[in-house]
Amino acid sequence: MVTIMNIDFIERLKSDVTAIVLQGETEHLFAKDQALAQFYPVFLSILRARPAWIEILGQQLNPKIHELFNANPALKQQFLDQLDQSAPQEEIEHTLNRSIVPTMNFLQTEAGASSQEAISHLLETHADSIQRALPVWAGPILAALGVSPLAGHSLNQEPVLEAEPIIVVQEERKTSFLWPVIIFLILAALTLFFIRSCMHDDDPQAGQDGQVASEAVAAQPASLQLSTGSNGEIISCQIGLNNPQYMEILQNEIKQIFNYNIGCGTLSSDAYHSEFTDQDTIPTVLRAIQGMPNVSLDWVGNQVLVRAATNAEAERLAAQIRSLAKNVTVVTQQPLNNSEIISTANSEAEQALASIKEDDVKALDVATALNLQIINFDTASTEVPEVNKLVLDQAAALLQRAPQVILKVKGHADAQGSEAENKALSVQRAQAVTDYLVQQGVDPAQLQAVGMGADQPVEPNATPAGQFQNRRVTFEVVNTETGVVREVDDEGVVEKTGN
């Protein structure tokens, strides 16, 4: 009876949640359905091993699967690569992102409560069914996350009904199942060995206390992502850290070094480590970057990724960092293309919006997060890019909870075409973003669309790269409680009176 109950539980989850996620979908339905079916047991295995994530995910408006993979793009990509490739991966990832909230709602309903303890008990009760539904290829990925799918359970648990059918099943599976299991166990063991070695280097206490080691694996490493524009100015900045004191120190350093009064967006929760590897060297590294154009620095735990306008500049900066921070691994990467720049910026905006508490929505936080993204229109186009809709969806959910916030949507154009054409185009772009937000439920009274034409370029229009930067939308907000406009731009926060 227990086994039947477990199977019914997984099948019921698939039936209930998939129907919600795919409602209204018309394309790639089979691929999305299969991806969801493989995602559910992986997701539940992670929750079972990391009970703290039950509460963290339950508090988020739009959780994303990259959080489940410790914000490790390579590991997330490895997972996506195993799914059905007949649909674009971007669509599959979007579908999986949308499934997290209804899955959490399903678990709360099944557990009869939203508490971490109740849902953890539910997952333990149905551990056999979750284990049985896991794809074989998921084992090494879970092991790399510090999640052991074998903990307390064997892989091939079948319901014991009659003696003869059991013998037949075992004979049929002996040759087809034995080798995948052996290979899986070997890969899992090697991956766990590698993870434990890395943990030992990153956290000396891990070897002394098994509980500390487990928490270190579950937590996301402290992170700093910073990018500069063509004049060396900061164009995006994000900090993930569970240490308010050092967060403030780092914010002040960035503001002073780069004359960047806004400061970085912040992600502060128990999910992050409380310190960087070699964090005392970070201010000196930031001074080395000061004034350098088109640089991107990703400092995540004991890994540092550097990009620059040329490979030579990236290597020179990487060598400086290596001489300062002896305990980090510094690598360089080719400069991002426009598509990669947009994807990185939008991911930062999504994280910033997700960190805003639903019951404490501040106008400036929303504007700052929105300005981290890049809404880049095609030449002469007014269609909202598909890649920006996830960010705008998050913003819409927050704005509906903050009726006191008025959002000014400012459209911009490059210098191609006449002044009148550019003015009209910029208004239409601002209106397109405004209309999209209204479609997502935002009160039209909270939105104002204005067009700036080509009068406020952020880059020279002489090059395609400059034109790309200038075809954009920016945001400012008006808080009706104070009547003060606060515009967020590269010069800082500028206060103005009036609407």
Per the structure block, which two tokens stand in for 188?
């899992």
pLDDT tens digit sequence for 104-159:
988 988 888 888 888 988 898 888 888 888 888 888 888 887 776 544 444 433 33
Confidence of residue 491 (pLDDT cuts 50, 70, 90): very low
Residue 104: which of 47, 161, 36, 166 has the closest Cα?
A: 47
CATH no., domain 350-497: 3.30.1330.60
pLDDT tens digit sequence for 7-36:
467 888 888 898 888 887 778 888 898 899
Angle at Cα 422 formed by Cα 416 and Cα 423, nearest 5°? 160
Look at residue 183 in the predicted model and tell me its pLDDT. 58
DSSP string, 396-445: HHHHHT-TTEEEEEEE---SSS-HHHHHHHHHHHHHHHHHHHHHTT--GG
Q: Among residues of the chain, what percentage have pLDDT more than 90?
A: 16
By three-state DSSP, how is residue 487 classified? strand
Look at residue 337 in the predicted model and tell me its pLDDT. 67
**pLDDT above 90 (res 435):** yes
Which CATH number is 223-335's, of 3.40.1520.20, 3.40.50.10860, 3.20.20.105, 3.30.420.40?
3.40.1520.20
**Residue 164 CB-density burial (10 A; 0-12 exposed, 13-18 middle, 19+ buried):** exposed
Angle at Cα 364 formed by Cα 340 and Cα 90, nearest 5°? 25
- Residue 410 CB coordination number (10 Å): 21
Secondary structure letter of residue 495 according to DSSP: E
**pLDDT above 70 (res 437):** yes
Residue 384: which of 492, 471, 279 has the closest Cα?
A: 471
**pLDDT above 80 (res 59):** no
**pLDDT above 90 (res 282):** yes
Average pLDDT, the chain: 77
By three-state DSSP, how is residue 39 classified? helix
Model-level pTM? 0.38
Q: Where in the chain is the domain with CATH 3.30.1330.60?
A: 350-497
Residue in the block written with tokens 């993930």? 240
**pLDDT above 90 (res 269):** no
d(CA 326, CA 39): 39
Alpha-carbon separation of residue 158 from 1, 37, 135, 139, 184 (angstroms): 12, 20, 16, 19, 19
Look at residue 392 in the predicted model and tell me its pLDDT. 92
Residue in the block written with tokens 């490790």? 72
Contact of 370 with 475, CB cutoff 8 Å:
yes
Residues 6+ apart with CB under 8 A from 214: 146
Q: What is the 3-state secondary structure (H, E, C) of 283-338?
A: HHHHHHHCCCCCCEEEEECCEEEEECCCHHHHHHHHHHHHHHCCCCEEEECCCCCH
pLDDT tens digit sequence for 72-105:
778 888 899 888 788 899 889 999 999 998 999 8
Alpha-carbon separation of residue 105 from 12, 34, 97, 123 (angstroms): 13, 21, 14, 14
Look at residue 68 in the predicted model and tell me its pLDDT. 84
Q: How many helices (H) and strands (E) does the chain have?
A: 19, 11
Q: Tell me the H-state helices in 112-230.
A: 116-125, 127-133, 138-144, 163-202, 210-218
By three-state DSSP, how is residue 225 classified? strand
Residue 33: which of 60, 5, 56, 14 has the closest Cα?
A: 14
d(CA 307, CA 114): 43
Q: Where in the chain is the domain with CATH 3.40.1520.20?
A: 223-335
d(CA 482, CA 108): 40
Secondary structure letter of residue 272 according to DSSP: B
Alpha-carbon separation of residue 150 from 185, 267, 347 (angstroms): 9, 33, 33
pLDDT tens digit sequence for 332-367:
876 666 777 788 778 888 888 888 887 888 877 888
